[in-house]
Amino acid sequence: MKPIIGIVGIDEVKNDKNIICIFENYRKAIIKYGGTPILILPPKLIDYHDFKPKDTGKLTKDDKEIIINQLNLCNGIIIPGGSRRFEHHNFICDYCNKKRIPILGICMGMQTMCNYDNNNQNVNINNIFHNSKKNYKHLVTIEKNSKLFDILKEEKILVNSFHDYKVENSGSYKVAATCNDVIEAVEKKEDPFNIGVQWHPEKNYDKDLNSNKIFTEFIRCAKSYYHE
């Protein structure tokens, strides 16, 4: 059976209406590499786009149950890129870590992984080197003693770059790749698949070999995952 991959929705505005959505490339990448995508929705009865993350209030027991019921349908989770991180992002990351659900964090998703269990802050880098619409913008260096290196079999790869912020440190994760002083990938090597990347492999999912390798391994691990 195809593994079910939950993609955490992001808040957007379309035609003056608040929506929770995912971008098409996430959906298409999951389908291409053998998964079934579903949308993971936030739990509160608010229009998220109208609130700052700090003003949404703590997750209640019922809020957490709504999230858990969704996560328990899934064999893998993607926390995608975005511009705002809410408490439910941290809860999702924490739950996936505790249950060892395969998780792929992308851009803001990687930053969530680094920050979910601590008080780390993201730093605005104000650097066009890390904010470009090009398919390939800069090199990242992969740590040889990492699961990411085991997957990619490369010490240096070219990546795209869309982010305005970097993480101060990797929190409870190990650094798996860097570009100068910017952390570009993190992981927990002891888990089947628990990797965050600062670039966007979904942007080039159909024509980039390294993106192919990342999604292929993520889906393979999701197929092997089962709930206790």
Three-class SS of the chain: CCCEEEEECEEEEECCEEEEECCHHHHHHHHHCCCEEEEECCCCCCCHHHCCHHHCCCCCHHHHHHHHHHHCCCCEEEECCCCCCCHHHHHHHHHHHHHCCCEEEECHHHHHHHHCCCCCCEEECCCHHHCECCCCCEEEEECCCCHHHHHHCCCEEEECECCCEEECCCCCCEEEEEECCEEEEEECCCCCCEEEECCCHHHHCCCCHHHHHHHHHHHHHHHHCCCC
Q: What is the pLDDT of residues 8-67, one digit of tens each?
A: 999 999 999 999 999 999 999 999 999 999 999 999 999 999 999 999 999 999 999 999
Query: At residue 219, does pLDDT exceed 60?
Result: yes
> Where are the domains positioned within the chain?
4-224
- Token look-up 């269990």 returns 117
pLDDT of residue 141: 97
User: Which of these, 206, 169, 171, 173, lies nearest to 188 by C-alpha position?
Assistant: 173
Q: Which pLDDT value is given to residue 121?
A: 64
Task: Name the nearest CA neighbour of 50 among 16, 79, 7.
Answer: 16
* Average pLDDT, integer, range 155-176: 91
| Nearest Cα to Cα of residue 78 among 185, 171, 5, 159 | 5
Q: Which two tokens stand for residue 14?
A: 């379309």
Question: Rounded to two decimals, what is the model's pTM?
Answer: 0.94
Q: The domain at 4-224 falls in which architecture?
A: 3-Layer(aba) Sandwich (3.40)
The closest of 41, 109, 122, 56 to 87, measured between CA atoms, is 56
Q: Percent of the chain, pLDDT > 90?
A: 83
As a whole number, the mean pLDDT across the chain is 93
Average pLDDT value for residue range 104-118: 94
Q: Residue 129 pLDDT > 60, yes or no?
A: no
pLDDT of 138: 87
The Cα–Cα gap between 160 and 130 comes to 8
pLDDT tens readout for residues 51-66:
999 999 999 999 999 9
